[in-house]
Chain A
Amino acid sequence: GAVVSQHPSRVICKSGTSVKIECRSLDFQATTMFWYRQFPKQSLMLMATSNEGSKATYEQGVEKDKFLINHASLTLSTLTVTSAHPEDSSFYICSARDRLAGGQTQYFGPGTRLLVL
């Protein structure tokens, strides 16, 4: 149980285009999902907290208009990187909390590698 998937696993796009990344909880309901960014050889940095049916909460320094988050259902959150630029190239990871299991642990997706040319 507690499986989280992400799609796509990797994406290459041209500068100026938008990219959408999906995060799904496959076998549990997730009222809260989290989006992280990880640069090479660095730790995970929380970008935003995604709440089902409400607006996301962004961490300081994260542009909400650039990183659009939608959490329309209990099993799906999406992150859209708008007008992507090379500096947005990174590894993006989502995680989800199992609401019914008491939710103390976050389970992570396999990540999405984004390369902006």
Chain B
Amino acid sequence: AQTVTQSQPEMSVQEAETVTLSCTYDTSESDYYLFWYKQPPSRQMILVIRQEAYKQQNATENRFSVNFQKAAKSFSLKISDSQLGDAAMYFCAYRSADFGNEKLTFGTGTRLTIIP
């Protein structure tokens, strides 16, 4: 079974600075998808960024980018120019690429605080 580990329960960053959230995973599969979801106080899960394992290029979405190291099974999220609205729980998630096995396995989350 796949597992996802987020070793940082809490992180904080000054507004406008850069922060990196860590995520490692364990799998025997070669093809899969990785996600970062954000859960603000409203508890609505919002997709931040997605990475396909077969792509070597790291995904980027505006201020959000990932450092995907397949051999190391590492998938960190970098948030640049942090904004107050970035404050939330961030969950890393894994999904198999196998058709019919679409469930997401989540990490335990990292609570990000933005310091004004």
Contact = CB atoms under 8 A, between A and B. Distances in A.
Interface of A: 32, 34, 38, 42-46, 49, 91, 93, 95, 97, 103-108, 110-111
Contact of A111 (B33, B35, B44, B109): B44
Nearest to B105: A46
Interface of B: 33, 35, 37, 42-47, 50, 52, 91, 95, 102-109
B26 to A, nearest CB: 16
A46 B95 CA distance: 12
A10 B45 CA distance: 16
Contacts of A49: 102-103
A75 B95 CA distance: 22
Contact of A34 (B42, B47, B104): B104
B43 A105 contact: no
A44 B33 CA distance: 18
A110 B46 CA distance: 10
B50 A105 contact: yes
A103 B109 CA distance: 24
A34 B105 CA distance: 12
Contacts of A43: 91, 106-109
Central interface residue in A43, A106, A108, by most chain B CB within 10 Å: A43
A96 to B, nearest CB: 11
Contacts of A95: 45, 104
Nearest to B37: A108
A110 B47 contact: no
24 contacts: A34-B102, A34-B103, A38-B43, A42-B108, A43-B107, A43-B109, A44-B91, A44-B104, A44-B106, A46-B103, A46-B104, A49-B102, A93-B43, A93-B45, A95-B45, A95-B104, A103-B102, A104-B95, A105-B35, A105-B50, A106-B95, A108-B37, A110-B42, A111-B44
